[in-house]
Amino acid sequence: MAKRKGKLTKLEHLTGLALASVIGYALWVPRYGLLPCLLLGVCILIFWVLFLMPTRCDFETRSGGSCHQPVNGKLRGCKRWHVRDKRDALYAALRMRNPGMAVRTTWIDGAQSGHRLGIPARGSTPTSYQAKRNHGQALFNLASLVVALVGSIAGVLALFVGH
Q: In the structure, what pLDDT confidence band is assigned to residue 117 with cuts at 50, 70 and 90?
A: very low
Q: Count CA within 13 A, CB hemisphere, residue 91.
A: 12
Neighbours of 80 (CB within 10 A): 10
What's the pLDDT at 84? 82
The parent domain of residue 147 ranges over 10-118+127-160
Distance in angstroms between the alpha carbons of the first and the last residue of the chain: 50
Is there a domain that residue 108 lies in? yes
Number of domains in the chain: 1
What's the pLDDT at 140? 80
Is there a domain that residue 52 lies in? yes
Segment 118-133, tens digit of pLDDT: 444 433 445 555 566 6
Is there a domain that residue 3 lies in? no
Mean pLDDT of 16-28: 88
Range name among 51-60, 107-116, 136-145 with the lowest pLDDT average: 107-116
Neighbours of 54 (CB within 10 A): 16
Is there a domain that residue 1 lies in? no
Is there a domain that residue 145 lies in? yes
Sign of CA dihedral 64, 88, 72, 108: positive
Is there a domain that residue 155 lies in? yes
The alpha helices in 48-127, defined as continuous H runs, are 83-93
> Percentage of the chain with pLDDT > 90?
1
Is there a domain that residue 4 lies in? no
Neighbours of 22 (CB within 10 A): 10
Is there a domain that residue 5 lies in? no
Segment 56-103, tens digit of pLDDT: 888 888 787 888 888 888 888 887 778 888 888 888 887 888 777 777
* Whole-angstrom distance, CA of residue 99 vs CA of residue 101: 5
